[in-house]
Amino acid sequence: MARAAPAEKKAIVEPLAGGRLILGAFALALANFVVVLDTTIANVSVPHIAGGLAVSPTQGTWAITSYAVADAISVPLTGWLSSRFGSVRWFIVSLTGFAIFSFLCGVSTSLGMLVAFRVLQGLSGGPLMPLSQTLLLRIFPKERAGIGLAIWAMTTTSAPIVGPILGGLISDNWTWPWIFFINLPVVVICIVLVRSMISRYETPVAKVGIDIIGLILLVVFVGAFQIMLDTGRENDWFSSSWIVGLAVIAAIGFGAFLIWEFTAEHPIVDIRVFRYRGFSMATMAMSLGYAAFFSSVVLTPLWLQQVVGYTATNAGYVVAWVGVFAVLGSPVAARLMGKSDARVMISAGLLWMGSTAVLRTHWTIGADYWTLAMPHLLQGIGMPFFFIGLTALALGSVKPNETVSAAGLMSFCRTLSGAVGTALATTAWDDAGRVSRSELVGKLNDPAGAIATLQAAGGTYEQARGSLDRLVEGQAATLGAIHVYWLSALVFLIAATLVWIAPKPRANVDMGGGH
């Protein structure tokens, strides 16, 4: 039984007001913003990171997936950490750790160092999203809590928009380590303001036990699975004993994790909520939809920079359009959800996002800017119905006292699926590109004549052959990307279908408690 420490009992603290409320809300929102920003700021910088560390661009994506996986693992721990050490205290500890490991990411001299510090950065940053929302609700008067939630939602939605643009500008005009160094002054400002404005809202601490075995099993199976996905291509997949060993560890670890969490008295992840069909189907649809969405957000900048010749900045300007309607449409989607069957809105949103994936299958190397940007702009229309709708459907399917556990588990599945989707998409892109290259080489029309024409224009044989080879490589990579976009459209369709297996939510859900 958890027992509150007498020394930690506090009187009810009045909400902030005036300038102190503005500064306190700014600090919490800024902290949430910088953590979410780091999920996308590296997307357009992958080629720069890969070049700086002398690795392939596919390996460079480990800097993205490692952060996402660590972030996902730390989310279920947030409740225990805040209960054990206090919400404000752990918020400051997490911010401090986030700053330290951001600096260490920037000074990394090898891929191994960068991935290790990105993992630690993700573990530090994971609790900041739910804690920032909790503290925003504490500092705002109850009648104005909606304003606090709106501020939190705006920073959560706008950060992915700013990430690709800021990452591109930094990578092109400075060097890639500055995408991590930029966090340091922001975190210092947040820590100073939180300590001066928010400290009095500390929550009582309690001697709460932690599911150590469950945590170990979670880290083992998730870590083994993600390493298998990230290193599978370089090791020729299951022809490698290393990959087979990781697959076995992941499978056994996952099975043991499920058994343990079903029987543990205080599980680290309450997977019992999967007994609700609505929650299960909504979480599966969320995971599939987010994997398809996030993988395209990572793949598109890679293709634009490696094949089309875009700079990181210009690639960021293309991808960032996805957030415009996502921000503007969120209030509309929230109002419509309570007036009709949420499943209609959700499936419509998923199908709309799938249709924008189909638009990407018409891309060519010579496509103009708006042909590339328009699918991202249009995709944002469906995102609010997808995110808000599935959250309402999932949490409306569980009992009120299970909402927090269900929200944490859904967040874990969503974040993990983004990392898995990225690894699978980049691997599929590479494999499909190689197959397409083999097919294109066999169908070339008079390659000797083309080389002769290029030589006649003043080039050497080696230059002419290199030009033809680059042309084939570019077309093959584009066909590989189109293959992945078709797959993502199919995944969106499957997710839209799963929604209809869920029953209609029994009640409206307070979206403030859902996160």
Res 269: pLDDT: 78
CB atoms within 10 A of CB 55: 17
Amino acid at position 468, single letter: L
Q: Look at residues 337, 431, 319, 335 and name the one whose alpha carbon lies nearest to residue 380.
A: 319
Q: Which pTM value belongs to this model?
A: 0.79
Res 256: pLDDT: 94
pLDDT at residue 121 greater than cutoff 50: yes
CA pair distance 45, 315, nearest whole angstrom = 10
Tell me 256's DSSP state.
Answer: H
Scanning the structure block, which residue is given the tokens 């309690």? Answer: 206
Q: For domain 276-515, is the CATH number 1.10.10.10?
A: no
Q: Look at residues 69, 261, 294 and name the one whose alpha carbon lies nearest to residue 163.
A: 294
Res 273: pLDDT: 86
Tokens at 43, concatenated: 């997307």
Q: Write out pLDDT tens, residues 283-342.
A: 999 999 999 998 888 889 889 988 898 987 888 889 888 878 877 877 777 777 667 788
The residue extents of the domains of the chain are 14-206, 211-267, 276-515
Q: Look at residues 513, 431, 426, 415 and name the one whose alpha carbon lies nearest to residue 476.
A: 431
Q: Mean per-residue pLDDT for 201-223?
A: 83
* Helix-helix angle 324-337:145-173, to 10 degrees: 160
Res 1: pLDDT: 37
pLDDT at residue 2 greater than cutoff 90: no
Which residue intervals of 76-232 are DSSP H helices? 78-85, 87-106, 111-125, 128-139, 145-173, 178-181, 183-197, 212-231
Report how far apart the first and last C-alpha atoms of the chain are (Å, whole number): 26
CB atoms within 10 A of CB 462: 8
Q: Write out pLDDT tens, residues 328-380.
A: 877 777 777 667 788 888 999 999 999 999 999 999 998 999 999 999 999 98
Res 42: pLDDT: 81
Specify the CATH number for 14-206; select among 3.90.79.10, 1.20.1250.20, 1.10.645.10, 1.10.3720.10.
Answer: 1.20.1250.20
Please, which pLDDT band fits residue 454 given cuts at 50, 70 and 90? low
Weakest-pLDDT range from 250-254, 454-458, 470-474: 454-458
Sign of the CA dihedral with 192 first, then 193, 196, and 199 last: negative
CA pair distance 200, 221, nearest whole angstrom = 39
Please, which pLDDT band fits residue 116 given cuts at 50, 70 and 90? very high
Could you tell me if 60 and 230 are in contact, meaning their C-beta atoms sit under 8 angstroms apart? no
- On the question of a common fold for 14-206 and 276-515, the answer reads yes
Q: Look at residues 79, 81, 28 and name the one whose alpha carbon lies nearest to residue 191.
A: 28
Please, which pLDDT band fits residue 149 given cuts at 50, 70 and 90? low
Which residue intervals of 304-402 are DSSP H helices? 312-319, 324-337, 342-360, 369-395
Tokens at 163, concatenated: 């990430």
